[in-house]
Every structure is written in structure tokens, then in C-alpha cells.
Amino acid sequence: MASNEEILAGLAEIVNEETGLAPEAVEMDKSFTEDLDIDSISMMTIVVNAEEKFGVRIPDEEVKNLKTVGDAVSFISGAQAA
């Protein structure tokens, strides 16, 4: 199981790979769409890559609830604990 810091760092790496955004721009309170300008296609790619990296399943209907980076970190952390 990864700590929240580790999940954040892993997500930042995935976001950087997909969008070119600097990893340090990926902060807990940032909105994927509003702040990071990530479109739905990139978001789905990030979700699938996160599933593989963290060994969890993020259902499609859950993705719309992941508004901020922090939402995603909490979900992944919870899914790993489950």
C-alpha cells in the first residue's frame, strides 16, 4: 500500500507523461479540468494508467467524481485499503 504522498507523486508522473505538465504543478487541491486543463480523453488515459500503476480499479461512473487531484488520491488510497 502506498502513502498519499506516494500516490500523489505517482499520479503527477502519469499526468506529466500524458500532458507534459510539470509534476510539481500536480497538487492535491488542483482541479483536473479547471486548473490542469485536462480533457476527458486525457483523463481516461490517466485513469487507466493509474489503475495499472496502483493495482486498483476505478469504475467509469466514479471518474466524474474525481474533480481534484486530492479526490483521485483519496479514491486510490481507499481502493488499495479495501
Partner 1 sequence: MTRKVVITGLGATTPIGGDVPTMWKNALKGVSGAHTLEDDWVAKYELPVHFAARCSTPALDVLSRVEAKRMDPSTQFGVIAAREAWADSGITEVDHDRLAVAFATGIGGVWTLLDAWDTLKEKGPRRVLPMTVPMLMPNGVAAAVSLDLGARAGAHTPVSACASGTEALHLGLDLIRSGKADVVMCGGAEAAIHPMPLAAFSSMQALSRRNDDPEHASRPYDLGRDGFVMGEGAGALVLEAEEHALARGARIYAELAGTSVTSDSYHITAPDPQGLGATRALKAAMFDGRIQAEDVVHVNAHATSTPVGDKPEYTALRAALGSHVDNVAVSATKSQMGHLLGASGAVEAVLTVLAVYERKAPLTINLENQDPEIPLDVVTSSRALPAGDIVALSNSFGFGGHNAVIAVRSV
Residue among 19, 62, 63, 74 that touches partner 1 (CB under 8 A): 19
Q: What are phi and psi of 26, to 5 degrees?
A: -90, 95
1 neighbors 62 (Cβ within 8 angstroms): no
Query: Which residues in the 41-80 window bind partner 1 by CB under 8 A?
Result: 41, 44-45, 48, 51-52
**3 or 40, CB closer to partner 1?**
40
Helix, coil or strand: residue 68: strand
Shortest separation between residue 41's beta carbon and partner 1, angstroms: 5
What is the total count of residues that contact partner 1 (CB under 8 A)? 10
